[in-house]
Amino acid sequence: MKILREILSPLLAVLAAFVVVGIIILILKDNPIQAYGLLLSSSFGSMKDVGWMLSYATPLIFTGLAVAVAFRCGLLNIGAEGQLYVAAFATAWVGLKFGSGLVMVFGKEEHWGYAIPLFPGGLPWYLLVPLCMLTAVVVGGVWGAIPGILKAKFGSHEVINTIMLNFIAVALVSYFTQYYYKIPGDAILQTAPIGEAAHIPKLNEFLPFLPADVPLNVAFLLAVLMCVLVYVFLWKTKWGYELRAVGENPSAAEYGGISPKKQIIIAMTISGALAGMVAIGEVLGVRHNYYDSFSGEWGYLGIAVALLGRNHPLGVFIAALFFGMLLRGEIFVDAFTAKVSKDVGWVLQAIIILFVACFQIFSKKRGVRAKI
């Protein structure tokens, strides 16, 4: 019965959102049936479609898990976007500094020249890739820990702080990119490309039926693994139990000998680390550099993914695939309908969140969330 309710209410929210957006499409004098047909079918026509859908879903699995872990501790992490930005820049930086080859650097004209790698010839891939991955996780985790510590030490609200830290992250990373790590003369705000030793393989190297232009890479497998690990952590370990206990009822947890402050910091650190993992797929797997505004608002979409997935790793996985499907489909809606643009995806997503929130997804006891 409980499981049925868990599945039913997100489904209802999605259905209701489709009805509302359908009415909006009708008002805009277009055909909702055609638009929805494109939206829902564009991900399943061929292996290429499926591959694209999965690659759209990959960053959303990470950010969805990030938001879900924080939620389980009673925290709303709106900062996944900032966390994945700093992580992506740091990952690209390590890839450049410890990578091989001559990389033209950087920034201001008088500093143009060739970067000297910290090690002659750079690190071999089996050291460089793990180092880059570790960087993504650690830097994301540190950026996530800041609002956690601020909340634990000063009681300041994590929602406001994470929003502020998002803006700070974007400004900070844009500063370093612009002044130090841009290729001279490049009109786009992006770092120099990382060497091949820091690349992670695409899945079509193992699965020949996937076309080569699909950016799906091993980060997807990592995302699936993280779903399993987060599940095990939250429900099969003592630490996960303590984290959830604080989310359920912080004063009861404290009475039971669990420190809510410590759990808040732990939850935000894990949350940030998960968001930082987006950098692994995008920097090492897809773009091979840090590119300003590379994120398709994945940090914010993660909130929708977590809510729809009811803060459970399996739910997050399914919800991320659903949103991956929408992201794939909206391109086709944009191209093949007369009036409906790809923004329909945003509208749908927003209304789904609103309905999920209204359908009492949260328990009324929000514990630590009550205080701003």
Partner 1 sequence: MSEILTFALLFSAIRLATPLIFAALGGLFSERSGVINIALEGLMLAGAFTAAVVTYQSQNPYLGLLCGCVAGGVLALIYAIACIKFEADQVVAGMAINFLMFGLPALISGAIYDSTGSTPQIDKADLLPNYYNDISFASILAFLLVPICWYVLYKTPFGLRLRATGENPAAADAAGVNVIGLRYTAVVISGILAAAGGAYLSIGQSSLFTRNMTAGRGFIALAALILAKWKPVPVLFACLFFGFMEALTFQIQGVVKLPSGEDIPVQFIQMIPYLLTIIVLAGFIGLSRAPKALGIPYSKEK
Minimum separation from the CB atom of position 163 to partner 1 (A): 5
Piece of 88-96, 204-212, 232-240, 363-371 that binds partner 1 (CB under 8 A) = 363-371
Q: Which of residues 280-319 bind partner 1 (CB under 8 A)?
A: 300, 303-304, 307
Is 168 among the residues that bind partner 1 (CB under 8 A)? yes
DSSP 63-118: HHHHHHHHHHTT---TTHHHHHHHHHHHHHHHHHHSS-S-EEE-SSGGG-EEEPPS
Q: Is 346 in the site for partner 1 (CB under 8 A)?
A: yes
Q: Which is nearer to partner 1, 138 or 172 (CB)?
A: 172
28 binds partner 1 (CB under 8 A): yes
**Calpha distance 22→24 (Å, rounded):** 5
Told to check if 343 binds partner 1 by CB under 8 A, we report: yes
Secondary-structure percent of the chain, ordered helix, strand, coil, rounded to 5:
70, 5, 25
Cα dist from 275 to 61, 295, 320, whole Å: 9, 12, 14
Options 62, 351, 367, 368; binder of partner 1; rule CB under 8 A? 351
Choose the binding region for partner 1 from 56-64, 115-123, 202-210, 352-360 (rule: CB under 8 A).
Answer: 352-360
3-state secondary structure 192-244: CCCCHHHCCCEHHHCCCCCCCCCCCECHHHHHHHHHHHHHHHHHHCHHHHHHH
Q: Is 345 in the site for partner 1 (CB under 8 A)?
A: yes
d(CA 345, CA 333): 10
Strand-pair partners of 191: 182
What are 249's two structure tokens?
């009822």
- Choices 57-65, 221-229, 247-255, 344-352; region in contact with partner 1 by CB under 8 A: 344-352
Q: Which of 153, 205, 252, 293 binds partner 1 (CB under 8 A)?
A: 153
Which of 1, 4, 154, 255 is the binder for partner 1 (CB under 8 A)?
154
Among the listed residues 136, 267, 353, 368, the single contact to partner 1 using CB under 8 A = 353
> What letter represents residue 321's amino acid?
L
Q: Cα–Cα distance between 40 and 125 in angstroms, integer?
A: 39
CB neighbours of 43 closer than 8 A, spacing ≥ 6?
A: 49, 50, 52, 53, 324, 325, 328, 329
For residue 200, state whether it binds partner 1 (rule: CB under 8 A).
Answer: no
The interface mask with partner 1, positions 72-111, x = CB under 8 A, is ----x-x---------------------------------
* CA separation for the pair 297, 326 (Å, rounded): 14
Number of Cβ within a 10 Å radius of residue 320: 31
- Say whether residue 366 binds partner 1 (CB under 8 A): yes
Please work out the total of residues on this chain that contact partner 1, with binding judged by CB under 8 A.
53
Q: Is residue 205 a contact residue for partner 1 (CB under 8 A)?
A: no
What is the Cα gyration radius of the chain? Answer: 21
Q: Residue 280: CB partners within 8 Å, gap ≥ 6?
A: 91, 132, 133, 136, 200, 219, 222
Options 44, 112, 114, 179; binder of partner 1; rule CB under 8 A:
179
Does residue 229 interact with partner 1 by CB under 8 A? no
Regarding 178 and contact with partner 1 (CB under 8 A), the answer is yes
Least distance in angstroms from the C-beta of 137 to partner 1: 24
Asked whether position 114 contacts partner 1 by CB under 8 A, the answer is no
Residue identified by tokens 């949350």 is 271
- Note whether 1 binds partner 1 by CB under 8 A: no
Which residues contact partner 1 by CB under 8 A?
24, 28-30, 76, 78, 150, 153-154, 156-157, 159-161, 163-165, 167-168, 171-172, 174-175, 178-179, 300, 303-304, 307, 339-347, 349-351, 353-354, 357-360, 362, 364, 366, 369-370, 372
